Amino acid sequence: MTDSTMIIYVISDSIGETGELIAKGSIRQFESENFEIKRYPYHNSIEQIEPILLEASQSPKSLVIYTNVVQSTRDYIEKETKRLNLHTVDVMGSPMNQIEQILGYPPIREPGLIRRLDDNYFKKVEAIEFAVKYDDGKDPRGVIKADICLVGISRTSKTPLSMYLANKNYKVANIPLVPEVPVPSEVYAKDVNKVIGLTCNPEKLISIREERLKSLGLSNGAKYANIDRIKEELKYSKQIMEELGCIVIDVTSKAIEETAEIVMEHVDSLI
């Protein structure tokens, strides 16, 4: 670390995840790699915070981001950072103030509420466990119980999309489409509105599959990454998706988040 390194101090009375995400998202906008993020979770007393602020004041390029909600702690940080002439970001202050003005009563100022175990948390855990259990056609019976069934050939983002949707509380099963393997009857029995077909450009698939083979220490000459084989698989998957009558999403140039938004919008419109 040099004097030109920017140091971002993230102080929180909970785990500090929110502050760190804001720090990372912000610094990336400057395309700089010359930074360090120091996270200090569960810090809510002057004794804990004072040495952090003193350390920050010794760095020519430092920023303090804090998400504390207890008023006495917030008052101390605000006063001390002004005294030390530190750059600061009060993540919770402005949103809480605005909400208080709208609702007309003060916040309870209890640390860690966002992490509290609630019904939503357990639904998410259940959805993630479901996605793992019924990933990649391990058990086709999961298709019937799933909120969403994804179908597509290998490397069309079925698994990562399943996990992303699970984090949004959707129970997802995914089924690989392989010309030599019959499609499970459960897929045909599923409400077609809850079946989502995924496809991809063959050239993109070659690139993805070659990287996959490389990570496994295998040759790129394998049938798995052969252009003719990929085109055969895509032709087969198109045929199956037309038989099913499901919507089809081309994931070639889409991030997982973009595809997920399309899927969620489609499924939620059925409710």
Question: 219 or 22: which carries more pLDDT confidence?
Answer: 22
Model pTM above 0.95: no
By residue range, what is the domain housing residue 223? 119-268
Nearest to 12 by CA among 82, 79, 90: 90
Q: Is residue 1 part of a domain?
A: no
Place of tokens 């504390």: 68
pLDDT for 110-169, tens place per residue?
887 776 656 778 899 999 999 999 999 999 999 999 999 999 999 999 999 999 999 999
Place of tokens 């804990």: 48
Looking at residue 95, which CATH number applies to its domain? Answer: 3.40.50
Q: Which of 82, 115, 148 is the last residue of a domain?
A: 115
Query: Do 125 and 236 fall within a single domain?
Result: yes
Q: pLDDT averaged over the chain?
A: 93
Nearest to 173 by CA among 123, 144, 135: 135
Binding site, annotated residues for ADP: 152-159
pLDDT for 191-223, tens place per residue?
999 999 999 999 999 999 988 888 888 776 678
Binding site, annotated residues: 152-159
Q: For the packed helices 71-83 and 46-57, what is the interaxial angle rounded to 10 degrees?
A: 20
pLDDT for 33-60, tens place per residue?
899 999 999 999 999 999 999 999 999 8
For residue 115, the model assigns a pLDDT of 66
Q: Is residue 157 part of a domain?
A: yes
For residue 116, the model assigns a pLDDT of 64
Cα distance between residue 240 and residue 136, in whole Å: 17
Number of residues in the chain? 271
